[in-house]
Structure 1
């Protein structure tokens, strides 16, 4: 009898721990970003200046627990051809999955659109924080998506490779 009770207690503890871990990963650390309405969607021009583009329907989530958890969706009336001729394109970007409840951001569909040429990826801001770039993808029909990418300097810093001269100085925290 004691073995059954002990088995049930272990099973209940495992179930509670599993549910708690799932909740913490998918829901707990994300916060809805309140849009400013004026500078939520910015791209880097071909001359290196940051410029806000016209956008609507902005939704975003973020988390302080990781620099790459930011995801956003929006729409724009600016034609893709205008964006391509005005703003710096970002090569090699691949969207990361968003939590299922943030249903406007489907990384698989966005990735397919990028690979098939139905979307272009632009630089929003390089080194938003050390090693992390903000990128913006815009589809032919004006749907837009924003996420953070680990850049080459970030890859080198995180895997211990020597940093190149093109990498900015890394800030070190106190303590």
Structure 2
């Protein structure tokens, strides 16, 4: 084999190894399953601003330390979207984030379609669970629930370098309080 062919094989092999490694890291390695711990696994913000546990079962969740928006969870509940709307703060503009294929209970496209069709409602789980990140909870008419993280307005500003407005908490004091 000539030196040129050997170099091509080495470059292709390195690219293939790097590609497979990145795929594995993004889809499997960084995620870990979050064990169910009890009623506080699914919290919602009431219209009065208090956090309250939502009765649920069949809780499954994943998370990763590599990004604050990798959290996903699924559960079932007897609470209907209409019942939740009477008690909990709605969340406008939420868009479910795609989960790894192996976490099969969370299909972002299907959840998004259900929300758009009006067969699910989205509520504030916990505002600023991390700086600039809100946890949101969707409840469907058929008793399924989904949780994920959304970047809020302060997070958008903080991450793109736009000056934070007066409506955003001070980041340094926020992180100190956490």
Shorter-normalised TM-score: what interval? over 0.9
Query: Structure 1 residue 66: deviation in Å?
Result: 0.4
Query: Structure 1 residue 55: deviation in Å?
Result: 0.3
Match of 2:11 in 1: 10
What is the count of residue pairs matched by the alignment?
Answer: 174
Q: Quick one: distance in 2 between partners of 1:171 and 1:61?
A: 28
1:58-108 CA-partner distances (Å, limit 9, x unpaired): 000000000000000000011221111110000011011111111110111
Q: Quick one: distance in 1 between partners of 2:108 and 2:11?
A: 37
Q: Any unmatched runs of 5+ in structure 1?
A: none
Aligned runs of 1:158-173 on 2, under 5 Å?
158-171=159-172
Match of 2:65 in 1: 64
Match of 1:128 in 2: 129
Match of 2:47 in 1: 46
Query: Structure 1 residue 38: deviation in Å?
Result: 2.1
Query: Structure 1 residue 5: deviation in Å?
Result: 2.1
Q: Does 1:90 align with 2:77?
A: no
1-10 vs 111-120, greater mean Cα deviation: 1-10
Q: Quick one: distance in 1 between partners of 2:52 and 2:125?
A: 9
TM-score (norm 2): 0.94
Match of 1:77 in 2: 78
CA-based RMSD: 1.4
Query: Structure 1 residue 53: deviation in Å?
Result: 0.9
Match of 1:142 in 2: 143
Q: Quick one: distance in 2 between partners of 1:10 and 1:159?
A: 35
Q: Quick one: distance in 1 between partners of 2:154 and 2:28?
A: 30
Match of 1:33 in 2: 34
1:115-152 CA-partner distances (Å, limit 9, x unpaired): 11011000000011110000000100010000000001
Match of 1:118 in 2: 119
Q: Which aligned runs of 4 or more in structure 1 are off by greater than 4 angstroms?
A: none
